[in-house]
Each structure stands twice: as C-alpha cells, then as structure tokens.
Structure 1
Amino acid sequence: MAAAPLYCVCRQPYDVSRFMIECDICKDWFHGSCVQVEEHHAVDIDVYHCPNCDVVHGPSLMKKRNNWHRHDYTEPDDGSKPVQAGTPVFIKELQNRIFASGEEILIRMKGEQVTPRYLERHGFNYPIGVTEMEALGLKLPAPTFSVKDVEQYVGGDKVIDVIDVARQADSKMKLSEFIKYFTKSHRPKVLNLISLEFSDTKMSELVEVPDVAQKMSWVENYWPDDSFFPKPFVQKYCLMGVKDSYTDFHIDFGGTSVWYHVLWGEKIFYLIKPTPANLALYEAWSSSPNQSEVFFGEKVEKCYKCVVPQGTTLLIPTGWIHAVLTSQDCMAFGGNFLHNLNIGMQLRCYEMERRLKTPDLFKFPYFEAICWYVAKNLLEMLKELREDSCPPPTYLVEGVKALIGALKTWLKREVTEPTSEVPDNIRPNHLMKELTKEIRYVEVREEEKKQERRLCQRHAPKVPSNLDILEQHTREVLKRLEVGPLEEVHGKLNKVSTASAAAAAESLEDNHLRLMLVNEKVASSQEPWWSSPNQCSRLEHREAPQHQRRLQGDKSPMDSQGNSSSEAWDNQGLPSPEMDYQYCDPSMSPPLHPSKRHAPNPPPISNQATKGKRPKKGMATAKQRLGKILKLNRHSRVFV
C-alpha cells in the first residue's frame, strides 16, 4: 500500500479542513498557517513564492488594483460595468440612498411586554424593537466586553468563517488572527464575522437568550436528548464587524426568526416584508447571474431603514428579507429560533433554499428532522385539546396543515433522493394519518358550530321592523281613539254611536301608550312616560294647555323655536334620537262638526311599504292612517 504524499514544510499529508496554497515556482503545496498566508490574503497574490523559492526569485507578486466598484478589483475600469454589492463605492451609495422609515413597521415594546402569550394573541408578523430590557430575560456581558474577551472565552485556535465584504466571499481563519485584524488601526480590508456560534464554549455562560425565544423555540422544546441527529446550535451567535461591513439581502436559514442585541456600536437594518410578491422577486433575484449588481431594495415597493443603536434589541419575524450595514465598529449578540406561529412561512423559506441550491453550511441543521419531532409533539397537543374540549388556535391548525403537506412531499422525495432525516422512533405514515384525523375532527367541529349558528339565526324570533311596530301602534290607536262617528273594523272606518265614542274618550284619560326610538328602532311601551331612558326619543301626544301649540296634522312638527323640524326625521318618518317632540296645534279657529268636514282622501305616499304604488283599499299604510287620525281629531284630546 503506497504511502500518502506529503506536503508543505511540515511534511504532512493533505488535510481537507486546512487552507493550502501552491507555489508558482516549485509547484509544491503549503498550509497557509505554516507559511503565514491567510486565505483572504491569497486572492490578492498574483504570483506566489514559497519560503524556499522566495530566496531565489524574490517575494511574491501582488495583484494591481484597477477599480473600487467591482469584486474583482483587477478588472479595468472603463466605466461600463455596474457597481457590485459590498464594494467601497457601493457602501458610499448605500449611505446616500433614501428609504422608508423603519418606524412605519417597527413595534416598540418594553421587555416585560414581549411574551409568548402576547405573540400568540397578536401574531409575530412585524419587527419588534426593545430598549427597556427589564423582564425580557436577556442576559449579556457588560458593554465593556471586548473582542479580546471573546478570544479569551472562546479560544484563539477556533477556526471561523469570515466575510470579505468587498468581494462578498467567505474564507476561513483562526479567531486569534481575526482579533489581531480587528484591533489594528489600519485595515486593508473590511472583514465581517457573523457566524460565531458559541453555545459549546465558556462564553455561553455569559449569555442567556430572551425568554420569548427560549420558550417558543422548537429546538429547546421538541428536540429529544436521545436523538440520533446532533442537536442544532443556532441559539447564540457573537457578531463582530468593523465599520462599513455589509451583508446583502437574505432570509435567515429555514425561515427562522431572529433576535439581535447591539452590545456596543451600531447596525442599520434594511427590512422588506415577506409578501408573496416580494418573496417571488427575492427568489428570482437570488438565482439571477447578476445578483450582486442589482440592489434588491429597489425592486420592491418599499424597503424600510431601521437603525439599531447600542443597548437595543431587535426581533425579526419569519421570512423578513433584510440586509445589514455596520455603520461603526460593533459587537452584537443574536440567535435564531423556529416556532409554531409561522410554520407555513418557515416551510416555504426552506423549500426556497432547496430550489436555490443553498449550501448546507448556510441552512438550518437537520431542518427536516426537527419538523418530524415537532409533528409528533403537535399531535399529542391536538389530542389533549380535543379531550379537554378546547379548540386549537387558528395559527396552529393552519401550521399543522402546512406541516402535513411538507412531510408527505419529503417522503415521496426519499424515493429518488435518499437523504432521510426521519427519526428512527417515528412511524411517518402513521403519524401523518393521525395528524390528518385530528385536523379533520377540528374542521368537522367548526362546521357543526357554523351550522348551529345558522340554525339559531333561522329560528330566532323575527325582530319587527320600524314600520311593523308603527302599524301595530296605529291599529291600537284606531281602536281606542275618539274618532267621532267612525271606528275601524277589519281595516275600514265605520260609523259608531256617540255613546261608544264618549266611552272611548273616557278610557283615554289614563292612556300613556307611546312609541320609543331605541337603538334606531321604534319600540312600543306601556310604562309611564317618566320612566323612559333619557337617550330614547319619545313620540308622545298628551293633552296640551292652550298656551302650548295645538295639534296640527297637516303641518310639519315645530321645534321649540318655532322652526320646522321635518329634517330631524329619517326617511322612514322616525324621530331623531337627539330630539324629543311634543305635538300641538297652533290653529285657533273653531272646530267643524264631523258631518261638515271634508272626507279625507290623501294622495298616495311613496315609502318603504308601498314602494311608490297607491295602496289598495283597506290597506292604507300606517303613516297614512296616522295622518287621517290626526286630521279627524284636530281639536280632540289625543293620547298616542
């Protein structure tokens, strides 16, 4: 068996995890750490000379800068190529752009207000800004905590991923090398560190995530300790960026929600709502070959600028598209979490990542596995709610529906892409069947409730209309009122004896029957007029002394100043709730004998009952009948 070839001055075999560079003279390969060449520096070398060749051929030759607006700064600057994201020219233009204010969409809250209960009731659909940290549950080091303290707690030998901002490219280096770079006054490059997860280090003891993230997190609540898959560590990140660091528009992996706290310095977030249109534009932009040359904030209707100063916590919901500019040297802490409130959006973001062929390094670890764990736990939750006769919240029902669809898709995909993340202790088909059964039960119960509501509405006693009440009231008046030699029989006015008329007059002495307008509806009441509520307008006719205006049936009611008050009535002839009328007749002429009076023959009145047509004989409207009564009894004692 042949021995593995040896490389570098250390004469070690090739190690895929370590950066290596080839000498352009001797063609040998060297570990960057052995020859003091950082990965992000290697792209600046045009011709590399190893330490041995350097003695004979001189130092390595560096690339010449020809522009400040392209990722490849060696391209000739002919003025025809557009500016690319992250370059010095781009950063300057970004700072001069005008955006919608983040205050339009940012919800300002106190730490004690940001709770799972609040988000479950009101939803978690807009960013939340917190400046008063008390009761938020967030524990952090003091603002004097420095980058050197990070090195002390995490360890300088830890290999980290940093971003060369001007090229928007990743490279690996030791944390100790990054700290040296950060503390130098002269920085030839802009490097940004945003992926230092420290849950497995000593620094983890210094940080506790906000209670709302801890209590809602899928990983914290549903990930079993005996899982075959390693537990995802995405809860605690330390972000260290120098001035002008920039991260282009993105959605956090797996559609996770995220919390950020600026310990010192300042960050600027450019936020875009995850509407269906914006998500479609984002996916098209992410897959386009000229993505770095197009500023995504200009492709959408609105992009919001949100400045996050020192001591402020920002929570960003699922799916929000955002870019970040570090306006001054900054240290921030943050974390990602999946939760039950936006399951559908989380799944949509994950599927988008698959279509965009996002590298596993930038995806949520074991996303499908945790979805299976969540499905198992949500099944138990739905069963308990059903046994307790408690309907599950709508967001949970919709989330489980989306989850069932995703799980079915993943199972079908296993046939052609065997990358199973189904936990061993879960029976996938049985789980989906049981979940579907619970959702159907919820839907059946909801449909039964709707039918019950319909039946209640159908069999509920019919509420009489204003006109029906007025008609009934008029009939009672016709039966009891003194109408001279006339009375109503079967809808007609017939002659009666004088004795019966006199008896009717006597019976009216204690008559207090009246109409009331309650909640814009006419209602009758037998209660004394003085017991009526103040807010009810009363239509009442009482015996008026001579110094008051007398009843005049053929004129509009008059207000207390003698003005016509017909405008106070609505189109159904009902009084306004704000006014209380008393009907009197100002005429002083002697009354005519009933036999001398003209027979009343009023013109047809167009109203809601007749719809503009002349009413048939014996079917006069309540309004017409009331008018007839008033004219016939112009000078009589009238109680209505």
Structure 2
Amino acid sequence: MTLPIALEDDHSHHHDILDIDGRPAKRVRFDSDSLLTKDVGTKDGASLVRKHPLRVRPSGNALTSPVNLKSACGLFASVPDELLVQLLETLDARDLLRFGASCRALHAFTRNEELWRALFVEPFILTAPVKAWPVYKTWSTEQLVEKYAGTCFRAESVDWPLSTYVDYMTNSQDESPLYLFDRSFVEKMHLTVSSQLDEQADYWPPTCFGSDLFNVLGDQRPDHRWLIVGPERSGSTFHKDPNATSAWNAVLKGSKYWIMFPSSPSIPPPPGVYVSDDQGEVTSPLSIAEWLLGFHAEARQTPGCVEGICSEGEVLHVPSGWYHLVLNLEPSIAITQNFIPRRRVGAALQFLRDQKQNISGFSDDVEDPYALFVARLQEHNPELLQEGMNELDRLSKGGRGRWEELTKPTVTEEVDDEPSGFFFGFGGDDEEEEEVP
C-alpha cells in the first residue's frame, strides 16, 4: 500500500467538494426551511428541530414510517445494520467513498464518524503546509554552514561542529553514514517556533494535527523536536516513536523513503524486527542496507505494509505506535516533531502509567511523568482528563474497540432476546423519501 497524498492550504478555509475521482463535485445548497420538521403547535409551523439532511431517523420511526429507505440497498438491505457497519470498517477511504456514492441509504452508513476517525490513524503525506515556512525557503546545507559553522550538533554518538559534519556528509562512503539528529536545534539556532500559523515564526506545526496535549507540561515536557540532516543512505532503522506519541516529519531538502507497519500485541512485527513482550523495545539487528537486501521484498508483501517517498516540501504523518524505517534517497534536511493528539490521550496515559521502563526524554527532575501529566491535565482541561481516563479504563480491560463495546456483551452482562448495538433507521413522510436511489 502506498502512502496517500493530501493537499492542505493553511491560508484558506474554503475547499471544493471532490468526488471519488478527485474532480470538483456539484455544490449542494440545502434550504434551511426544508430541513425543519413541521410542528403545528408552533407559531410558524416549524420547530427548532432540524431534519437530518440525508433523511435519517432513529430506528423507532420504522413502526410508523410508510417506507424504509434501506430496502433500496439491493442485497445489503438484508444485512443487519451492525454487520454492515462491521463490513465498512474493513474499507479504506477511497472504497468507503465509492460505496457511499451508490445510494443515499448506504451514503448515510458511510458517514459514521467512527469509520473516518479510525482511518485518520493511518500514515499520510501533506504537500502544502511546509512550503509556507520561512526555513523551507531559505535553508540549504550551504546556508546553514555559513550561519552555524561552529555550532555543535549531535550526530548519533558524537557532537560535531556543523562544518565538520557537512564535510563528512559530503565525502562519506560509509554504508550507513552518521545521521545528524539534534534535539536542541531551536535553542542553538535561536529559531522562533509558533504553535499555529505565524509568518513571523521560522516554522509552525501543520494545523491539521491539532493541539499537542504534552504542551500542558510546559518546560517539563519530554524531548519532542529534532533537526535531521544526512547524506544518501543515512536514516533510521525500525523503531516506534517514544511515549506513545504521534509525529510529523517535514522534508525541507532532499527526499526520504518510508516503510511502515501498524503494531499491536496481536500483529507480528515486520520481518527481521524483534519486539519485547510489552511492545516497548524494538530491536533490528541489521543495518538499513542489510535489512533492505534481506527482508524488503518479504516486508512489502506483509499485510499492513505502507510505503512511500516523502519529497522536498512535503510532510509525513507518523501515527502513534507504528513501526517505521526511514532512508534518505539523497542528501536531506528535515524537521520532525512528536505530539499527543486528543484522540490518543488514553493511550499516552496508559504508556506513562504501565511502561515506566520505556519512558524517555523527560528531565531527571520529573520523577513520575504519569502523575505530572494527570495533574496538568486536571489543571488545564479536567473534561479532557476524564475523557482520557475513560479511554484508559477501556484499554486496561482489554482494549475493546467501539464496535465491540456497542455489540458484544461483557462476561458480566446478561444477554437477553433483544439485539444489542445501534441501528440506522431510514424512513420518510414525503414523496421525495420514497425515491429509489
């Protein structure tokens, strides 16, 4: 599977609707009056309750509705709602769009928020945000050496002046060249970084990733951003990002090859990769070149494999928990940053509580990162903390997904004759709703 490419324009909030082939679709104007349910008990003949734009109603309306639009779904009309939703969970974004385009009833099923939320946890590439950064427009190895020649940066296990590293980078014939990977570059280079779009800053995170919940830790947050410079053949062997974080990796110069795999206790690691029982430690005993020669072909055929090239001016999203190997295809400069998105707050809490031996990046004065994170969330956003604790409780009980929660009883629940789960009801009270798609 190749990485999906998405466009994002940080300067505009107006977007055309695209159809499944990428062409602009017809704009649809909804008449607000037509979406109001009529109520003879009100002065104007309409209540403040709006109809669903797709004419979806709770399943209880099936008792009185003259028509159930789901009957127009062909063979899918006989499939129970719960099973249909479970089938949709196996589709990727493009197939989900195609399926929903077949008729109005199925379109309503594909609008289920849980389906799209799950898809967002996969890797993807954005092609626009980085190109607005001042550092993208000005940085090159020559410009950096001119300005920071004597500044020391960390290249794996050594600290070298930038001029020394660039000289090594230019002339190295090593099979696995040293990789400059510096966590303090913002301070060393006196850069201005904004948390949102700010053309006075040197760069800012792409806005689509939302807020970083580790920001509540202030100066006590773990290491989270790095400058990455390296020649072709340099890169990083298989690993997962620290502390259950997600990440973005923006290429300012050059290009990078990525190969990635999802992870869970029930999924084996990529070929040639060994993982500890708690999933916290990842070991790849081979160099990048050796792994590519010995396991690359097999890995590409492994279910779940996602690969792609992130080119100059693009940024790649790395979901939390995904194994990834990165290889520079040419001399490259990049910035990467780790973050905790809202949807992963429960996973972050679980990691900090249960995998203390694998926590990294915190300063020595932080004795209990879990307690610190809980206290700061309670101070800044108690509602979000409660949301995270609820998710933590779910994960601690075995990590049942939303589908299982809705449809599968626990061992302590009594199963009765009524079906569990949720249903979509399709009914109508006018001629338009009886139209067969």
Compute the TM-score of the two structures, normalised by the length of structure 1: 0.37
- What is residue 378 of structure 1 aligned with on the other side? 381
| Deviation sequence 1:446-465 (CA, Å, 0-9, x none) | xxxxxxxxxxxxxxxxxxxx
Residue 256 of structure 2: aligned partner: 267
Which residue does 1:338 correspond to in 2?
A: 340
Equivalent position amino acid for 1:178 in 2: Y
User: CA separation in 2, counterparts of 1:292 and 1:187?
Assistant: 15
Out of 9, 17, 28, the position equivalent to 1:111 is 9
What are the Cα deviations for residues 205-230 of structure 1, in whole angstroms up to 9, with x where unaligned?
3622225278501243x235xxxx64
The match for 1:177 is 164
Q: Structure 1 residues 320, 349: CA separation in 2 closer, same or farther (over 3 Å shift)?
A: farther
Contact 1:273 1:321 (8 Å CA) reproduced: yes
Q: Check if 1:147 corresponds to 2:47.
A: no
For residue 239 of structure 1, give the secondary structure of its aligned residue in structure 2: strand
Deviation at 1:351, TM superposition (A): 6.1
Q: Matches of 1:154 and 1:141 in 2, distance apart?
A: 14
The residue type paired with residue 130 of structure 1 is L
Q: Does 1:156 align with 2:150?
A: yes
Counterpart amino acid of 1:141? V
Q: Does 1:131 align with 2:29?
A: no
Residue equivalent to 1:302: 304
Partner of 1:208: 203
1:414-425 equivalences in 2 (<5 Å): none
Report the CA distance between 1:319 and its aligned residue.
1.8
C-alpha distance in structure 2 between counterparts of 1:290 and 1:351, whole Å: 26
Write the deviation string for residues 120-178 of structure 1: whole angstroms up to 9, x where unpaired. 99534122321133xx79624245522243345556242x3323xxxxxx344343421
Q: Which letter maps to 1:149?
A: Q
Q: Shift of the alpha carbon at 1:307?
A: 0.8
Q: Which amino acid aligns with 2:228?
A: L
Contact 2:254 2:330 in 1 (8 A): yes
Task: Quote how far apart the aligned CAs of 1:371 are.
Answer: 4.1
Contact map agreement 1:138 1:209 (CA 8 A) in 2: no
SS at match of 2:232: coil
- The separation in 2 between residues aligned to 1:138 and 1:258, in whole angstroms, is 19
Structure 2 CA distance, aligned partners of 1:286 and 1:535?
53
Tell me if the contact between 1:107 and 1:127 (Cα under 8 Å) persists in the aligned partners: no
Distance in structure 1 (CA, Å) of the matches to 2:362 and 2:145: 23
Aligned-partner residue type, residue 341 of structure 2: H
Q: Which residue of 1 aligns with 2:276?
A: 283
Bigger relative CO (Cα 8 Å, ≥ 6 apart): 2
**Quick one: which amino acid aligns to residue 389 of structure 2?**
V
Q: Secondary structure at the match of 1:201?
A: helix
Identical counterparts, % of pairs: 19
Unpaired segments of 5 or more residues in structure 1? 1-100, 164-169, 383-395, 408-518, 524-531, 538-576, 579-640
CA drift of 1:308 comes to 0.6
Residues 351 and 155 of structure 1: CA distance in aligned 2, closer, same or farther (over 3 Å): farther
Inter-partner Cα distance in structure 2 for 1:212 and 1:536: 42
Aligned partners of 2:123 and 2:154: how far apart in 1? 28
Q: Match for 2:184 among 197, 218, 221? A: 197
Question: 2 CA distance for matches of 1:349 and 1:303?
Answer: 24
> The residue matched to 1:102 in structure 2 has which SS?
coil
1:242 offset after TM fit, Å? Answer: 0.6
- Which AA in structure 2 matches 1:132? A
Q: Alpha-carbon deviation of 1:268?
A: 0.9
**1:212-223 pair list within 5 angstroms:** 212=207, 215-220=210-215, 222-223=216-217
- 1:327 and 2:329 are equivalent in the alignment: yes
- Give per-residue Cα distances to partners, 1:593-622, cap 9 Å, x unaligned: xxxxxxxxxxxxxxxxxxxxxxxxxxxxxx
Post-superposition Cα deviations, 1:91-137, rounded to whole Å, max 9, x if no partner, equal xxxxxxxxxx323xx3623234999xxxx99534122321133xx79
Distance 2:227 2:434 in 1: 67
Secondary structure at the counterpart of residue 199 of structure 1 = helix
**Between Structure 1 and Structure 2, whose CA radius of gyration is higher?**
1
| Number of positions where the alignment pairs a residue of Structure 1 with one of Structure 2 | 282
- Offset of 1:199 from its aligned partner? 2.3
Deviation readout 1:226-251 (Å, 9 max, x if unpaired): xxx6454524x221011111311111
Q: TM-score, normalised by structure 2?
A: 0.51
Q: Deviations over 1:440-491 (max 9, x none)?
A: xxxxxxxxxxxxxxxxxxxxxxxxxxxxxxxxxxxxxxxxxxxxxxxxxxxx
Cα distance in 1, alignment partners of residues 211 and 178 from structure 2: 33
Pair 1:149–1:278, CA change in 2 (3 A): farther
Alignment partners' CA distance in 2, 1:216 and 1:330:
28
SS in 2 for 1:328: coil
In structure 2, give the amino acid aligned to 1:329.
P
User: What per-residue deviation string (whole Å, max 9, x for no partner) do you get for residues 320-377 of structure 1?
Assistant: 221101111111122111232112233455567645x5765899x8843334312332
- In 2, the alpha carbon distance for the partners of 1:309 and 1:536 equals 50
Q: What is the alpha-carbon distance in structure 2 between the residues aligned to residue 321 and residue 276 of structure 1?
A: 13
- The Cα RMSD (Å) is 4.6
Three-state SS of the structure 1 residue aligned to 2:266 is helix
Secondary structure of the 2:128 match is coil
The match for 1:102 is: 2
